[in-house]
Amino acid sequence: MNPVLKRTLAYFVPYWKLIVVSAVCSAIVGGMDGAFAWLIEPVLKKIFSGKDTEIFMLVPLGVVVLFAVRGVARFTYDVTIKLAGQKAVQDLSNEIYASTVRQDMAFFNRRSTGELMSHATNDISAMQQGIANVMVGLFRDILSACSLLGVIFYRNWQLAIFTFVVIPLTAYPAQLIGKKIKNSSGRSLNIMGGITAILQETFSGIKVIKAFGLEKPATERFRAANLDFFRQYRKFIKYESLAMPVSETIISFGIAGVVYFGGSQVMSGRMTASEFFSFIAAMVMVFTPIKKLQSSYNSLQRSAGAAERVFKLLDEKKNIADRPGAVTIERSSGNVEFRNVSFSYGSEAILQDISLKAETNKMIALVGPSGGGKSTLVSLLPRFYDVTEGAILIDGHDVRDITIESLVSQIALVDQETTLFHETIANNIRYGKPDATMDEIISAATAAFAHDFIMQLPNGYDTSIGDRGIRLSGGQRQRICIARALLKNAPILILDEATSALDTESEQMVQKALDNLMANRTTFVIAHRLSTVLHADQIIVLEDGRIVERGSHDDLLSNGGLYSRLHALQFIDRDPAGSSSTP
């Protein structure tokens, strides 16, 4: 069995009871096709040869009963197999989502958001359609074909050979066309992933598109991608449409042979007209499930292209995972050490030989030119990436020896992106502690100076904030993120440019919230605005991935190094302490 098909069918195993019910009902449906073809000959003989009027009167009732039972069986069959298919695909979809969100940050750096969305939507939809078509028709059509073949071989095995011999001849073109369908379907889905990426980028960056008048280039880009998809999908349509005519043309040779030799036997008296009619009925009926099976095979090939992409995603190696024997730590004291840490992304060296210590409840500021490695350095602490050389320790434990779950419970993050979800304010804050009570949420929001503006909203804490919190101002969004971090109550805090995008008034309010957040926590602060880190216990100056200076604000100013130059650029009209000077 094809490995992809085998792996796909494994998702149906938990729902074997539904499949058993479906199989029984499909046996009834398939068996009735054979029974109907079988009964034609004796019924016709009794009616027309034996002049049996009683049988003749019962035939209409028998037809109704036969099709009623068949209808009930078919309904039960369709419902149960579709439910099993939907549950299986749902499990697969859940597994894709869970597997994707557990990947490390390097994985997301390699993949576009649109591509990942395409896997979770377009690929799953293609698999769902293919599996539904295959599973719905598989049992019924196989059993129907087998029962009808049994009838025609019993009626006249010589004529059956003409029928049967052409069926295997359809296998090779079906396999060849099926392979073409699979390849063209896979390529179409790849292009569709690119289209999804364009849509995601367009809608998330619509403000930039509007501001720069890029509607026309954006539209042309989408049209070009859509044209590529059409050209590829056209091949898929061609191959799928070709499958049935080729199959029917081959089958027609068998039908022609049966008509000629069967008709000859009737005219010579070696076969009765009723037997021949029964045979013809069974033969015509047997080709219907066979054609449906071929159609199911094509659908299966179409979904196989999507399945390969899905399983490739599921099999993507996770670089960040718990080591064997990883320990779970309780609440950390907040002692953090970077010991000779170096980090490279591919062949590009980002950080080189970084060593620093952060003691309990101390504030460490990371400053320096853009691209110096500040954000990368703090990203190594929660293991968004793993160090290339050296080690990072929390309370003496290498972070790689701590379970990821307990490691991230020690760290809270507030960054400049203010990531919020299309949920209520309460639920956005609750991400810091999923089982938090409403009182705890309000307490965290109050400490973040967010409670007052929240209560002025139409539904208070139950107000939905829109996509990415678009209904809130920048300062309000940041305070919601601070409330979330406060609720988490982690001993180690990372502030990555938490006030860089705010105006002066909003920054002052957010800074008060941050002061509450930093209390009694070991804090790493990344800042371009040096005014926010003047009182740090230690300031680390990074340039080109190396520590070039370290010390207090006053010490670094007196050294006349890079920090002093950065400070002079920001406070050119201010005194060394950062207060305004009088001309």
Is residue 578 very low, low, confident or very high in pLDDT (cuts 50, 70, 90)? very low
Of residues 318 and 186, more confidence is placed in: 318
* Cβ atoms of residues 41 and 278 within 8 Å: yes
Collapsed DSSP state (helix, strand, coil) of residue 424: strand
| Mean pLDDT on 398-416 | 88
383 found inside a domain? yes
Per-residue exposure over 35-63, b if at least 16 CB sit within 10 Å of its own CB, e if not: bbbbebbebbbbbeeeeeeebeeeeeeee
The CA distance from 476 to 515, in Å, is 16
437 found inside a domain? no
Q: Are residues 56 and 187 in the same domain?
A: yes
Collapsed DSSP state (helix, strand, coil) of residue 539: strand
Q: Is the pLDDT confidence value at 549 over 70? A: yes
Q: Are residues 541 and 406 in the same domain?
A: yes
Q: Are residues 265 and 331 in the same domain?
A: no
| Cα separations in angstroms, 434 against 94, 98, 288, 384, 440 | 20, 18, 56, 21, 11
| Mean pLDDT on 419-426 | 82
Q: Are residues 269 and 349 in the same domain?
A: no
452 found inside a domain? no
45 found inside a domain? yes
Burial of 312 (0-12, 13-18, 19+ CB in 10 A): exposed
Structure-block tokens of residue 113: 């958001």
pLDDT tens readout for residues 110-149: 777 777 777 777 777 777 766 665 665 666 677 777 777 7
Among left, alpha and beta (phi > 0; psi -120 to 50; other), residue 330 is beta
Per the listing, tokens 């011999």 go with 165
Cβ-proximal residues to 491 (8 Å cutoff; 6+ apart), any chain: 331, 332, 333, 334, 410, 521, 522
Burial of 406 (0-12, 13-18, 19+ CB in 10 A): middle
Collapsed DSSP state (helix, strand, coil) of residue 156: coil
Most confident range (mean pLDDT) of 89-93, 280-284, 380-384 is 380-384
496 found inside a domain? no
| Cα separations in angstroms, 582 against 59, 219, 530, 546 | 111, 54, 21, 37
Residue 501 gets which letter from DSSP?
T
The CA distance from 462 to 324, in Å, is 43
Collapsed DSSP state (helix, strand, coil) of residue 547: strand
Structure-block tokens of residue 80: 């149960």
Q: Are residues 157 and 252 in the same domain?
A: yes
| Mean pLDDT on 3-11 | 78
Handedness of CA 392, 397, 400, 404 (dihedral sign): negative
Q: Are residues 306 and 328 in the same domain?
A: no
Q: What average pLDDT does the structure give for the chain?
A: 78
Q: For residue 566, what are the domain limits?
A: 321-410+528-573
The CA distance from 319 to 434, in Å, is 27
The CA distance from 479 to 574, in Å, is 29
The CA distance from 12 to 70, in Å, is 25
- The closest of 336, 333, 335, 370 to 354, measured between CA atoms, is 336
491 found inside a domain? no
pLDDT value for 576: 45
pLDDT tens readout for residues 443-473: 888 888 888 888 988 888 888 876 666 677 7
Structure-block tokens of residue 337: 């050490």
* Cβ atoms of residues 298 and 134 within 8 Å: no
Q: Are residues 333 and 294 in the same domain?
A: no
277 found inside a domain? yes
Does the predicted TM-score (pTM) go above 0.75?
no
Q: How much of the chain exceeds pLDDT 70, in percent?
A: 79
Q: Are residues 198 and 246 in the same domain?
A: yes
The phi, psi pair for 322, rounded to 5°, reads -65, 135
* Cβ atoms of residues 150 and 34 within 8 Å: yes
pLDDT value for 273: 74
pLDDT tens readout for residues 299-354: 777 777 777 778 888 888 888 888 888 899 888 888 999 999 999 887 788 899 99
The CA distance from 427 to 430, in Å, is 5
pLDDT value for 583: 30
Within 10 A of 396 (CB to CB), how many other CB atoms are there?
8
| Cα separations in angstroms, 143 against 162, 171, 290 | 21, 18, 11
Is residue 208 very low, low, confident or very high in pLDDT (cuts 50, 70, 90)? low
pLDDT tens readout for residues 35-90: 666 666 566 566 555 555 665 556 666 667 777 887 888 788 778 887 887 788 78
Structure-block tokens of residue 496: 């990555």
Report CA 399 to chain centroid distance, whole Å. Answer: 29
Q: Are residues 73 and 178 in the same domain?
A: yes
Residue ending a domain, choose from 314, 349, 370: 314
Of residues 200 and 528, more confidence is placed in: 528
Residue ending a domain, choose from 314, 329, 363: 314
Number of structural domains, the chain? 2
**Cross-strand pairs, 561:** none
580 found inside a domain? no
Q: Is the pLDDT confidence value at 97 over 60? A: yes
Terminus-to-terminus CA distance in the chain, angstroms? Answer: 85
Of residues 199 and 493, more confidence is placed in: 493
**Cross-strand pairs, 393:** 337, 398
The CA distance from 454 to 176, in Å, is 63
Structure-block tokens of residue 278: 């029964």
| Mean pLDDT on 380-405 | 91
The CA distance from 377 to 350, in Å, is 9
Q: Is the pLDDT confidence value at 287 over 50? A: yes
Q: Are residues 113 and 145 in the same domain?
A: yes
Q: Is the pLDDT confidence value at 581 over 80? A: no
Q: Is the pLDDT confidence value at 574 over 80? A: no
* Cβ atoms of residues 48 and 274 within 8 Å: yes
Most confident range (mean pLDDT) of 5-9, 49-53, 481-485 is 481-485
pLDDT value for 343: 93
Domain of 359, CATH number, reads 3.40.50.300
Cβ-proximal residues to 328 (8 Å cutoff; 6+ apart), any chain: 402, 403, 405, 406
Say what angle helices 474-488 and 504-518 make with each other, to 10 degrees.
0
Question: Rounded to 5 degrees, what angle do the CA atoms 283, 67, 143 make?
Answer: 45
Instruction: Give the helix/strand (H/E) hosting 106.
Output: helix 105-110
Q: Are strands 336-345 and 538-543 parallel, antiparallel or unpaired?
A: unpaired
Q: Is the pLDDT confidence value at 558 over 60? A: yes
Q: Are residues 250 and 380 in the same domain?
A: no
The CA distance from 226 to 245, in Å, is 29
Q: Are residues 363 and 245 in the same domain?
A: no
Structure-block tokens of residue 159: 């004529």
Q: How much of the chain exceeds pLDDT 90, in percent?
A: 9
Domain of 114, CATH number, reads 1.20.1560.10
Per the listing, tokens 């005194």 go with 575
| Mean pLDDT on 94-118 | 79
Residue ending a domain, choose from 314, 342, 357: 314
pLDDT value for 235: 79
| Mean pLDDT on 236-244 | 73
